[in-house]
C-alpha cells in the first residue's frame, strides 16, 4: 500500500493538505490575537478544525508564541472528562509560568481550586484526572481557573481558548454558556473560539437573540472552498504525487463529490489509489466505486436504523434532489399522505445531517451514501 497519496480526508487537513481559506484564516488569526471572541460555524466536514488549527499554528509560530488551550467537547463525554481535557491542554501551554518552575506540576495544580489526580505516562508526561462525580459547580471552577491561568499570560502574548464541537455541549451534559459569558466579560484579553456544526444547535447557543452567548462573538461561517481553488489544489497535488490529473478531471471529481471539502479529498484520494500513471476520468469512476464499496457496511447499518418511510424519502433524494419536499406531489411520490408527514419523516434525517439543504434543494449529504443508495458502482 503506497503511503504517498497526496490527498487527505477524515481528520483535519494540515500543511500541504490545507488549501485556500486565506481570508478566513487571516480573520481568525487577527481575532484570536486581539482577544475577540469568534463563533466558527459550518456544516460538518467543511474544515472548521483544519482552519482553527492553522490559525493556532500561525499564532504559535509568531513571536512571542501565543498561549492557546483547545478542547473538543465530543471527546469530553462527561464533566469530569472535560475538566481533565482542559487541565491537560492548559498544562501544555508552552513557556507558561508554571512550566518554567522547577516543579511544574505542583506549580500548575496550585492554580486549580479543584485538585486533580496526577499520574504519569511512560514518557513521564502528567495526566490529570478528576472525580467521576465532579459536580457542575466544580466544573465551573475548573473552567474559570483555566481561563484565569490563560489570563496570567495576557499582556505578554496572545491568549485563546478554543472549544471545538461546541454544538455537542448538551450531549455531554455541560452547562457552560452562562459561565462562558461571564468569563468572556471578566477576561476580555482571552480570545474564545467556539467551533461547531449543526446550525440550529449553534444558533440556539450563540446567535439567536435570546441565546446565552448572543452578541459576544464575531461569527465566521465556512462555505465550500471556491471551485477554482479546489481544482488548482487537486491538479497540483496529483502532480506532486506523481500521477497527474488535468483540470477537467479535477472538475469531474467536484461534480461527483459535491461541495464538501472532505468528500472532494476522499474521492481524490481513492481516484489516486485507483490510477496507474495518471488520474483520469476512468480512475475517478474506479475511485468512486472503491469509496462506496469501502463504506458499504456502514451505509447498510445506517439504512437499517431508518423507518421504511425514511428509506423511501432518502432513496428518492439520492436520485433527485428536491426543492419542494413538503408539496403534495412529493409526498405522494414517497407514499406519504401529506406534506406534514414528510416533515415528520425528514426531521431526524435533517437533525442528523443525513439530508441537508444546499442551494435551496434537499440532498443526501454524503455523495458516497447517495451513490450506494442508487446502486451505482
Ligand atoms: N482548507 C482545506 N484544504 C483542503 N482540504 C480541507 C480543508 N479544510 C477541510 N478539508 C478537508 O475536509 C476534511 C475535514 O476537515 P475538518 O476536520 O477540519 O472539518 P470540520 O469542519 O472540523 O469537520 P467536523 O464537522 O467533522 O468537525 C479534511 O480531512 C480535508 O479532507
Ligand atoms: Mg472538526
Least confident of 104-118, 207-221, 355-369: 207-221
Instruction: Grade residue 243 by pLDDT with cuts at 50, 70 and 90.
Output: very high
Q: Taking residues 313-336, what's their average pLDDT? A: 94
Cβ–Cβ under 8 Å, residues 358 and 259: yes
pLDDT of residue 2: 46
User: Is the pLDDT at 191 greater than 70, yes or no?
Assistant: yes
Cell numbers linked to 105: 506540576
- Domains of the chain, CATH where assigned: 21-221 (3.40.50.300), 227-294 (1.10.8), 297-374 (1.10.10)
Do 158 and 33 touch, CB atoms closer than 8 A?
A: yes
Whether 117 shows a pLDDT value over 60: the answer reads yes
Ligand 1: nearest atom to the Cα of 266: 31
Q: Whose CA is nearest to atom 11 of ligand 1?
A: 262
Closest CA to ligand 1's atom 25? 44
pLDDT (average), residues 68-96: 90
Strands 218-221 and 67-72: unpaired
Band of the pLDDT at 3, cuts 50, 70, 90?
low
Give me the pLDDT at residue 95, please: 84
- Mind listing the pLDDT tens digit for each residue in 194-225? 999 877 777 777 777 777 778 888 889 999 99
> Does 156 score more than 90 pLDDT?
no
Structure confidence at residue 205 (pLDDT): 77
Query: How do the residues of the chain divide into helix, strand and coil, expressed in percent and rounded to 5?
Result: 50, 10, 35
What confidence score (pLDDT) does residue 175 get? 77
Burial class (CB in 10 A: 0-12, 13-18, 19+), 154: middle
Q: Mean pLDDT across the chain, nearest whole number?
A: 92
The span from the first CA to the last CA of the chain, in angstroms, equals: 22
Q: How far is the CA of 252 from the centre of ligand 2 (A)?
A: 26
**Atom from ligand 1 closest to the CA of residue 45:** 23
Q: Report the pLDDT value the prediction gives residue 215, as an integer from 0 to 100.
A: 81
Digit-coded pLDDT (tens) for 11-41:
999 999 999 999 999 999 999 999 999 999 9
3-state secondary structure of 216: coil
- The pLDDT of residue 1 is 42
Q: Is the CB of 330 under 6 A from ligand 1?
A: no
Q: What is the pLDDT of residues 165-180, one digit of tens each?
A: 998 887 776 778 888 8
- Is 48 near ligand 1, meaning CB less than 6 Å away? yes
Cβ(56) – ligand 1 distance below 6 Å = no
Q: Is 265 in the pocket of ligand 1 (CB under 6 A)?
A: yes
Q: How far is Cα 153 from Cα 161, in angstroms, rounded to an integer?
A: 12
Amino acid at each position: 500500500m503506497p503511503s504517498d497519496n497526496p490527498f487527505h480526508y477524515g481528520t483535519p487537513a494540515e500543511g500541504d493538505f490545507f488549501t485556500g481559506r486565506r481570508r478566513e484564516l487571516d480573520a481568525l488569526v487577527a481575532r484570536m490575537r486581539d482577544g475577540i471572541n469568534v463563533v466558527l460555524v459550518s456544516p460538518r466536514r467543511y474544515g472548521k478544525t483544519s482552519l482553527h488549527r492553522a490559525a493556532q499554528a500561525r499564532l504559535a509560530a509568531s513571536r512571542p508564541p501565543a498561549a492557546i488551550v483547545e478542547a473538543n467537547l465530543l471527546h469530553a463525554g462527561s464533566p469530569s472528562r472535560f475538566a481533565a481535557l482542559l487541565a491537560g491542554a492548559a498544562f501544555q501551554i508552552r513557556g507558561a509560568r508554571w512550566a518554567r518552575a522547577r516543579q511544574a506540576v505542583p506549580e500548575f495544580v496550585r492554580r486549580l481550586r479543584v485538585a486533580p489526580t496526577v499520574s504519569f505516562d511512560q514518557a513521564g508526561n502528567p495526566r490529570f484526572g478528576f472525580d467521576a462525580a465532579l459536580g457542575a459547580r466544580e466544573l465551573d471552577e475548573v473552567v474559570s481557573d483555566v481561563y484565569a491561568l490563560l489570563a496570567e499570560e495576557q499582556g505578554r502574548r496572545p491568549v485563546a481558548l478554543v472549544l471545538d464541537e461546541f454544538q455537542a455541549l448538551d450531549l455531554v451534559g455541560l452547562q457552560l454558556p452562562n459561565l462562558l459569558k461571564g468569563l468572556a466579560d471578566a477576561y476580555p484579553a482571552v480570545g474564545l473560539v467556539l467551533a461547531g456544526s449543526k446550525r440550529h444547535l449553534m444558533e440556539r447557543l450563540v446567535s439567536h437573540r435570546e441565546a446565552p452567548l448572543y452578541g459576544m462573538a464575531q461569527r465566521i461561517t465556512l462555505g465550500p472552498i471556491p471551485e477554482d481553488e479546489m481544482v488548482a489544489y487537486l491538479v497540483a497535488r496529483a502532480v506532486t504525487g506523481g500521477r497527474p490529473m488535468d483540470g477537467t478531471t479535477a472538475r469531474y471529481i467536484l461534480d461527483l463529490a459535491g461541495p464538501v471539502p472532505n468528500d472532494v479529498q476522499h474521492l481524490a484520494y481513492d481516484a489516486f489509489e485507483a490510477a496507474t500513471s495518471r488520474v483520469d476520468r476512468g480512475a475517478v469512476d474506479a475511485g468512486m466505486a472503491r469509496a462506496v464499496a469501502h463504506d458499504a457496511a456502514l451505509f447498510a447499518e445506517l439504512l437499517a436504523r431508518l423507518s421504511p418511510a425514511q428509506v423511501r424519502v432518502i432513496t428518492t433524494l439520492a436520485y433527485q434532489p428536491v426543492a419542494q419536499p413538503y408539496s403534495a406531489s412529493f409526498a405522494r411520490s414517497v407514499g406519504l399522505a401529506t406534506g406534514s408527514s414528510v416533515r415528520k419523516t425528514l426531521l431526524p434525517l435533517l437533525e442528523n445531517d443525513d439530508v441537508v439543504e444546499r442551494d435551496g434543494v434537499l440532498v443526501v449529504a454524503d455523495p458516497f451514501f447517495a451513490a450506494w443508495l442508487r446502486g451505482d458502482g
